[in-house]
Chains A and B, each alone.
Chain A
Amino acid sequence: MPIKMCLAIPAKVISVEGDKAKVDFGESVLREVNITLVNAKVGDYVLVHAGYAIQVLEEKEALETIRLWNEILELGARTQK
């Protein structure tokens, strides 16, 4: 499977054993990844790059993104008036 080197794919942590975790990329794609670089626990979403989780995605921040987007648009509207 060719990989995009700066691409990282979100996956959900299913189980953790030492520095390895089994993650679910969705649609039944399960894979073992190395979690040395992050503090991931079962249920977390992690960004996986070339077999290593590089970041835990925060649910709060994901929801916050939608709020941020709306805020940016509204701020823009205000400054343009």
Chain B
Amino acid sequence: MIGKTNFRDPELAKRVVEKIRETAVKSETVKICHVCGTHEWVITHFGIRSLLPPNVEVIAGPGCPVCIVPASEIDEAVQLALKGITITCFGDVLRVPGSETSLLGAKAEGADVRIVYSVSDAIKMAEKEPNKEFTFFAVGFETTAPSTAVEALKNPPRNLSFLISHRLIPPAMKLLAGMEDLNLDGFIAPGHVSTIIGLKAYETFPKVYGMPTVVAGFEPLDILFGVYMILKQLKEQKPRLENEYIRAVSREGNVKAQELMQKVFDTIDGGWRGLGTIASSKFTFNEKYAKHDARLKYGVKVEHGIDIQHGCKCHLVIIGKIKPTECPLFMKTCTPQKPVGACMVSIEGTCSIWAKTQIDKTK
């Protein structure tokens, strides 16, 4: 039945776009920020920005989990790979630049780097080859971290360790909300992260920052309704937290996933590519599970990495301060085939999405 429900009703889209135009007409410039690579894909792919009035801008925040991994953590994975440890990672991570090279570069030098669809694939590989040392490079936000927790709790094979790079979204949103020169008026909160952390995780944004916040899904209509709900809140001058994605997100979220994450992880300050350190934004194994930590097992630690290559503007694209088309390298020296910055590497990176959708440069 769910499959048959019409989530793409063009008439409904027309009506909501009309409402957006009516509601926005008297407002000043409105800047709405989302923090999810898939939201950016939907917005760009379906041309949603072209439906909005010129004074309503939707910008992409740090919602690409691969793009925000700092170079120092790529360097750690590269070091492990070059030491002879088999690195298993998601496909997107392979080409993300470290300070000097990427995991793909390490692979070219003979290191064993393998793409997996899921952490459970890494477990299977490690079980199949017990004489080899494996590390799973655990990248991703709250959507991905529970799967790492599930496997850590299940007594993973001794020859498998984890290089934890999980990051948390609300602390990054706090950073953006506090950036005065960014001038945000509202947040579209990420739908799938929210299935795990629940609506309640965003309470602080309307309360403390006066920021209208709406959790939205991934149909074009979800986004349009998200934008409209924010505009309405702004017009009424009543910032609040609303849930547009009721079919997947509850107030409490996935409590079981939260409990499992709490069992294995501690929250610490973490570096985000180009953004510096964000307080309490990173997971690391707690004392009980530290035996699975690749950093401790192999004594790997890289303190400083080079996040941004010369001329690259990823650090500004990641927070939505500039559009990819405003970067001097975009589609000149930096292309999806030969990316310079992380935002052009991942299929969730804003630059990569814009490049592949051939954004009109005049907009």
Contact = CB atoms under 8 A, between A and B. Distances in A.
Interface of A: 1-8, 10, 12, 26, 34, 36-38, 45, 47, 49-52, 54-55, 57-59, 61-66, 68-70, 72-73, 76-77, 79-80
Interface string B220-245: 01000100110010001000000010
B119 A50 contact: yes
Contacts of B3: 12, 26, 45
Contacts of A76: 19, 22-23, 228, 232
Contact of A34 (B36, B37, B147): B147
Contact of A66 (B6, B65, B91, B236): B6
Closest 10 A/B residue pairs (Cβ): A51-B118, A2-B91, A55-B195, A61-B247, A52-B147, A62-B247, A62-B2, A8-B192, A5-B65, A7-B38
Interface stretch (B126-134, B135-143, B305-313): B135-143
Among B2, B7, B119, B348, chain A packs the most CB atoms within 10 A around the CB of B2
Contacts of B254: 37-38, 54-55
B228 A10 contact: no
Given A7-B38, A37-B260, A49-B144, A72 B229 contact: yes
A70 B13 CA distance: 11
A47 B248 contact: yes
15 contacts: A4-B38, A5-B141, A5-B348, A7-B38, A12-B3, A37-B254, A38-B256, A47-B195, A51-B119, A51-B147, A54-B195, A55-B248, A61-B247, A63-B5, A73-B16
Interface in B107-136: 117-121
A6 B5 contact: no
B361 interface: no
A6 to B, nearest CB: 5
Contacts of B117: 1, 3, 50-51
Contacts of A63: 1, 5
A16 B143 CA distance: 22
Contacts of A58: 247
B353 to A, nearest CB: 10
Contacts of A6: 36-38, 63, 65, 140-141, 143, 190, 192-193, 348
Interface of B: 1-3, 5-7, 9, 12, 15-16, 19, 22-23, 36-38, 41, 63-66, 90-92, 117-121, 139-141, 143-144, 146-147, 150, 190, 192-193, 195-196, 217-218, 221, 225, 228-229, 232, 236, 244, 246-249, 254, 256-257, 260, 346-348
Contact of A8 (B19, B143, B221): B143
B37 A69 contact: no
Contacts of A61: 246-248
Contacts of B92: 2-5
B77 to A, nearest CB: 16
A57 B245 CA distance: 11
A48 B139 CA distance: 17
A34 B7 contact: no
A17 to B, nearest CB: 14
Contacts of B246: 61, 64-65, 68
A37 B221 contact: no
Contacts of A52: 118, 120, 146-147, 150
Given A55-B254, A72-B229, A8 B22 contact: no
B257 A50 contact: no
B7 A65 contact: yes
Contacts of A3: 90-92, 117
A4 B217 CA distance: 15
B195 A10 contact: no
Given A5-B144, A6-B38, 20 more contacts: A3-B91, A3-B92, A4-B38, A4-B41, A5-B66, A6-B37, A36-B150, A36-B256, A37-B257, A37-B260, A50-B143, A52-B120, A52-B147, A52-B150, A63-B1, A65-B7, A66-B9, A70-B12, A76-B19, A77-B19
